[in-house]
């Protein structure tokens, strides 16, 4: 019991900064999921299967599916579907309306076992609701593209590290960051984690020597390894020349 509590503390701290709301809270209605089921059958089921089990395309339910999308806001999967699905659609084919895509997403959530609520899921809520597993928010999966904020330093063995770093969060753009993303990173309170930074030399336009002790947003692929957590970098952005808090 004590151990659980001890391990969870820094993570809960990081989550307290995340926008509230997860798919566990009944974020779509029964009626909406029904509408979504009809639209899904018409536009998606031929490849992904009537029960989302996957035929000529990946399954859209279960663990494997969840690992790809969890710990991210619903707008990421929504945007992916809206921009790419149905796969191979003719350019002149009529587009599925945005609200219908949201209905389809609510059907996918329903089949994955998430409970319904009073109101429909709407477009403006997608970026505020996190897709999480049944046990609620968890650390992002190993190997994910992540974003963390911390202080840049060089260890005695010459390895560059980020210390006082925040719990890694999902990122979707590896080399660029939106102003909103940078702004959110600037506002983040520092954490307690340390990451070794791999592939720093591959990051364009970043001279680490001139940013020692600065507050940095790092993006890259996460490798979890007790005592040697590592990020293989894809981008570095300087947030502040101080790294006090």
Hey, which residues does 215 pair with through a beta bridge? 151, 240
Q: How far is the CB of 219 from ligand HEC (least distance, A)?
A: 21
- Cα Rg of the chain (Å, integer): 20
Which CB sits closer to ligand HEC, 89 or 189?
Answer: 89
Stretch that binds ligand HEC, among 40-48, 183-191, 193-201, 207-215 (CB under 6 A): 40-48
The one among 22, 35, 37, 48 contacting ligand HEC by CB under 6 A: 48
Q: Is 66 in the site for ligand HEC (CB under 6 A)?
A: no
Q: Is 79 in the site for ligand HEC (CB under 6 A)?
A: no
Hey, which residues does 233 pair with through a beta bridge? 220
Residues 2, 3, 4, 8, Cα dihedral to 10°: 110
Contact pattern from residue 168 through residue 197 relative to ligand HEC, giving x for each residue in contact according to CB under 6 A and a dash for the rest: ------------------------------
Which CB sits closer to ligand HEC, 65 or 206?
Answer: 65
Do 71 and 170 contact (CB within 8 A), yes or no?
yes
Q: How far is the CB of 231 from ligand HEC (least distance, A)?
A: 23
Q: How far is the CB of 62 from ligand HEC (least distance, A)?
A: 10
Closest CA to 143 of 163, 175, 161, 170: 170
Q: Is 242 in the site for ligand HEC (CB under 6 A)?
A: no
Stretch that binds ligand HEC, among 6-14, 60-68, 142-150, 180-188 (CB under 6 A): 60-68
Q: How far is the CB of 189 from ligand HEC (least distance, A)?
A: 32
Question: In this structure, how many other beta carbons lie within 10 angstroms of the beta carbon of residue 160?
Answer: 21
| 18-22 long-range contacts, CB within 8 A, separation 24+ | 18/130, 18/137, 18/169, 19/73, 19/128, 19/130, 20/128, 21/125, 21/128, 21/129, 21/130, 22/129, 22/130, 22/131, 22/132, 22/136, 22/137
| Contacts (CB under 6 A) with ligand HEC, residues 87-116 | 87-88, 104
Which CB sits closer to ligand HEC, 12 or 87?
Answer: 87
Which CB sits closer to ligand HEC, 81 or 111?
Answer: 81
Q: Is 141 in the site for ligand HEC (CB under 6 A)?
A: no
Residues in contact with ligand HEC by CB under 6 A are 43-44, 46-48, 57-58, 60, 65, 68, 77, 81, 85-88, 104
């Amino acid at each position: 019991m004590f151990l659980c509590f001890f391990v969870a503390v820094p993570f809960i701290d990081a989550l307290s900064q995340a926008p509230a709301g997860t798919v566990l809270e009944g974020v779509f209605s029964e009626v909406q999921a029904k509408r979504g089921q009809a639209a899904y059958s018409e536009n998606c089921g031929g490849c992904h299967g009537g029960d989302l089990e996957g035929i000529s395309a990946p399954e859209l339910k279960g663990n494997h599916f969840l690992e790809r999308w969890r710990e991210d806001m619903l707008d990421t999967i929504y945007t992916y579907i809206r921009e790419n699905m149905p796969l191979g659609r003719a350019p002149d084919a009529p587009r599925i309306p945005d609200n219908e895509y949201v209905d389809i997403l609510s059907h996918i959530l329903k089949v994955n076992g998430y409970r319904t609520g009073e109101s429909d899921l709407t477009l403006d809520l997608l970026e505020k609701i996190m897709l999480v597993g049944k046990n609620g928010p968890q650390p992002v999966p190993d190997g994910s593209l992540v974003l963390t904020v911390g202080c840049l330093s060089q260890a005695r063995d010459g390895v560059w590290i980020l210390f006082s770093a925040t719990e890694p969060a999902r990122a979707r753009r590896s080399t660029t960051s939106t102003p909103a993303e940078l702004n959110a990173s600037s506002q983040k309170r520092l954490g307690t984690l340390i990451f070794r930074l791999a592939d720093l030399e591959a990051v364009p336009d970043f001279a680490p020597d001139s940013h020692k002790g600065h507050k940095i947003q790092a993006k890259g692929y996460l490798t979890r390894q007790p005592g040697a957590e590592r990020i293989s970098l894809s981008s570095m952005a300087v947030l502040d020349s101080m790294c006090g808090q």
